[in-house]
A and B are shown apart, each in its own frame.
Chain A
Amino acid sequence: MAPAPSSKRQALDALMGRAVAGDEKAYRAFLTEAAIIVRRFAAGRMPHHSAGFDLEDLVQEVLLAVHTKRHTWRVGEPVTPWLLAIARYKAIDAYRRRGKRVEIDIDAMGDVFEDPSAMPTATGHDVGRAVASLGGRQQAVVSALSVEGKSISQTARDLDMSEGAVRVAFHRGLSTIARKFGRT
């Protein structure tokens, strides 16, 4: 079979002809081909990069319409114009529906909203500097509890201290940092 567009269209006509006669395989092949045609048709005409419009949703809507209205195609008629007329009707429908409600894709709002996790509260460098400004036991305790996230009992065991002593050292260490870095 030559790859000329007209013969391809005729092949599609034949496929649909067999499909309406009850050939499931032919119908599947027709729908697969139809999906490609509709996708290409819609991609060129619809504002597919705009928010609230999903190209694949439209393709599926067209395929469903093709299915429920397939009795309106008659053997002997070219199937491609029929398919594209349905695609056009559904595309206009989708476009109108989209216009009635404002949908904004959150991805498109990156300029407006900043990701809170990306906003620095205290940088690793600042924390390191604060902890390093402490001495001896206080540094070890603050580092273990605040930076490494260990529990008090774990820290007490690691440093061979009582839990009460860990709490006191931790409190004093934080007070020292607060004094040095301006907040009490």
Chain B
Amino acid sequence: MQTDDLIAQLAERNARDGESFVLPLWLAALFAPVIGFAGFMALLGPRPDFLASLSTLRFDMKFVEAGLLAIAALGLLAALARPARPWRSRARMLLVPAAVLSAAVMVELVVVPADLWGAQAFTANAWTCLVAIPAIGAPVLALFVVALSQQAPTRPGLAGGVAGLAAAGVSAVFYAAHCPSDSPLFVALWYPLATLILVAGGAVAGRMFLRW
């Protein structure tokens, strides 16, 4: 076919093809906590002393760290979703949750005696963390991938990986309400490992489903 003919056809279809519904990324971001909460309640539920724990700083910090990760990753994802959007500057925003978590670890290392560090980091909840965060995050990741597939990510693998990161952030906010281990040493070790599973899954899904 001649390029001019194609242009004529596309111009003719301009009005007709523009009608289909596109799930905006911000709407997916609003839905994500709903899906995360549903998965969380079905699988785990909050720990018994949830309300009482809200007054302890180490417990609250888990929500701050996970929430900051979700927000930073979603901000980066919005830039990766469309062509020619500057995303590198947004990638630097991921340093914020990393810095907050690092600061929490520093404080913990100062406050907690050295011979208790190992016991704080390696608890019986490690396996639950590694399974629960990907399990709660998987449907959230699926939602993000669906939303991304209607956009035009020019780096499908990276966009999928960041979608996994955002899903892990959302999932970790809920998992934190269940997990009895509040030490930043535990959080800094197992949460990122669980997150990596979703990032890897997202990157693979991105390469498979986000090409256009």
Contact = CB atoms under 8 A, between A and B. Distances in A.
7 contacts: A24-B11, A32-B7, A60-B3, A64-B6, A72-B82, A72-B151, A89-B83
Nearest to A71: B22
Contact of A59 (B3, B81, B151, B211): B3
Interface string B1-28: 1011011101111110110001000000
Interface stretch (A3-11, A79-87, A102-110, A124-132): A79-87
Given A85-B83, A86-B83, A89-B83, 11 more contacts: A20-B18, A22-B15, A35-B7, A56-B3, A60-B6, A69-B152, A70-B18, A72-B83, A81-B83, A81-B84, A89-B154
B127 interface: no
Contacts of A60: 1, 3, 6
B35 to A, nearest CB: 24
A35 B83 contact: no
B11 A28 contact: yes
A83 to B, nearest CB: 8
Nearest to B81: A72
Nearest to B4: A32
Contacts of B7: 28, 31-32, 35, 63
B18 A71 contact: yes
B83 A82 contact: yes
A93 B207 CA distance: 12
Nearest to A67: B10
Contact of A35 (B3, B15, B81, B212): B3
Nearest to B2: A56
Interface residues on B, range: 20 to 34
Nearest to B20: A71
Name which of A31, A69, A73 has the most chain B CB atoms within 10 A of its CB. Answer: A31
Interface in A55-78: 56, 59-60, 63-65, 67-73
A86 B154 CA distance: 7
Interface of B: 1, 3-4, 6-8, 10-15, 17-18, 22, 81-84, 151-152, 154, 211-212
B83 A19 contact: no
Interface of A: 19-20, 22, 24-25, 27-28, 31-32, 35, 56, 59-60, 63-65, 67-73, 81-82, 84-86, 88-89, 93
Given A35-B3, A82-B83, A27 B152 contact: no
Contacts of B211: 93
Contacts of A69: 83, 151-152, 212
A130 B84 CA distance: 76
A176 B127 CA distance: 100
Nearest to A22: B15
A25 B10 CA distance: 11
Contacts of A59: 3
Contact of B12 (A20, A24, A32, A56): A24
A51 B155 CA distance: 27
Contacts of B14: 19, 22, 24, 27
B154 A27 contact: no
B82 to A, nearest CB: 4
B10 A31 contact: yes
Nearest to B151: A72
Name which of B1, B152, B212 has the most chain A CB atoms within 10 A of its CB. Answer: B152
B67 to A, nearest CB: 28
Name which of A32, A56, A67, A69 has the most chain B CB atoms within 10 A of its CB. Answer: A67
Nearest to B5: A60
A55 to B, nearest CB: 10
B10 A64 contact: yes
A68 B13 CA distance: 11
